[in-house]
Amino acid sequence: MGISPGRLYAPPSLRSLIRLTLLLLVVAGLYLGYLQLSTNVHAVVDGQVYRSAQPSPAKLGELVKEYGIKSVLNLRGDSSGEAWYDNEVAAAKGLNVQHIDFRMSATKELSIEEGRQLMAIMAAAPKPLLIHCKAGADRTGLASAIYVAGVAKEGEIAAESQISLTYGHLSLFFIGAYAMDRTFERLEPMFGFLNS
């Protein structure tokens, strides 16, 4: 059996590996798309803290009704004058829900002091608390991990699971959002996680 000129040859095992890799990428892409369409809503600590992507005013109303949300922590920061922000603030006010802003970037590490400040805000916020950013994956993942580790005291494995593909976060060192992973690693001694 000869090789056709101009055509690359790959052994059957390599072709199978390429097909499997492509299939896994398609499945991962479909899952990430589902998370975006579903607003990526999950319990962090049932009855206390929930996480999501940017909720519409209608979705915020649904979450308040379903989970009894008393406060919303917006990790995108005060964005007065932008429709999404003004609508969210108005919806929260109309639902008698406290609205809290804390600006952070998915691609920049938090300082230890900022981590402490975020933890204090979440500890003091009326519960149940809804934490959100734009996609509910990176910034929300870090904030959720900080809550699980520093406030709920549920341990390192439970905390780190909040910054994972389960919620749409890719823990790859060459992606900008890896700053969330690095931040959590740097904050671990604050939670008593000394040997990780």
What are the mean pLDDT values of the chain's consecutive 10-residue runs (196 residues total)? 59 70 62 60 97 96 98 98 98 98 97 98 99 94 98 94 82 80 95 83
Q: What is the DSSP letter of 75?
A: T
Q: What is the pTM of this model?
A: 0.80
Domain that holds residue 43: 15-190
pLDDT for residue 141: 96
Closest CA to 169 of 143, 135, 196: 135
Domain with 124 in it: what CATH number?
A: 3.90.190.10
Which H or E element spans position 116?
Answer: helix 112-124
pLDDT for residue 50: 98
Domain count of the fold of the chain: 1
Q: Confirm whether 90 is domain-assigned.
A: yes
Q: Confirm whether 164 is domain-assigned.
A: yes
Q: Confirm whether 183 is domain-assigned.
A: yes
Q: Confirm whether 162 is domain-assigned.
A: yes
Long-range contacts of 27-30 (CB under 8 A, 24+ apart): 28/165
Q: Confirm whether 6 is domain-assigned.
A: no
Q: Which residue has the tokens 């299939």?
A: 23
Q: Confirm whether 10 is domain-assigned.
A: no
pLDDT for residue 81: 98
Q: Confirm whether 48 is domain-assigned.
A: yes
Q: What is the DSSP letter of 142?
A: H
Give CA–CA dist 74/85, Å, rounded. 9
